Chain A
């Protein structure tokens, strides 16, 4: 399975909104609504932020939202805050009972 494609880095100023894309294929993102997003701060374990494309787990800020169009899923963070600075990874079910991650995106809050 090939990794999903994410931008290596994105940045934004506090209060702004940013969007991170996650491009797959018709074999993964395009077919299954099983895309999840994870936030990882340095030296920490990842944290689930979005699942099933656009659902938020309990306790995750509503500033985080997810969507999908065709083979591309997106994570949008509105009202950027300093604590949002982290690495973000998308993950999709890829059929044949396997999962595939994106390469990760480093978010910098300017």
Chain B
């Protein structure tokens, strides 16, 4: 079965960096795009970034553009989210989610991980 497991969250100070990981299993990793979505505790969902199945394209929400970088390591079936210059408003649970269409992009989240909490505070 499809599994996505996030890790790397924790408490950090403003201005610092953190790298999240999303380990995938149960499907052909190189055939699907992976998104990152975040949720401030008690609030709504917020799309963060996507990397296409073949790594050819990466796109970001305006709120993180220039600070966050999405990447993937196909040898480890893992997608990363490098978060730099973190701000208090980046505090959230970060979910990785698999797109719904093989070898393309359906712009939806078919499977989700359980999330990892990032807290940015001084």
Contact = CB atoms under 8 A, between A and B. Distances in A.
Interface of A: 1, 3, 34, 36, 38, 40, 45-48, 51-52, 57, 89, 91, 93, 96-104
B107 interface: yes
Contact of B44 (A52, A89, A97): A89
Interface in B15-33: none
Contact of B110 (A40, A57, A96): A57
Contacts, number: 64
B88 interface: no
A97 B57 contact: yes
8 contacts: A34-B108, A36-B107, A38-B109, A51-B106, A91-B108, A91-B109, A97-B50, A98-B59
Contacts of A97: 50, 57, 59
Contacts of A1: 61-62
B113 interface: yes
A3 B44 contact: yes
Given A45-B95, A97-B50, A104 B108 contact: no
A45 B59 CA distance: 23
A3 B47 CA distance: 11
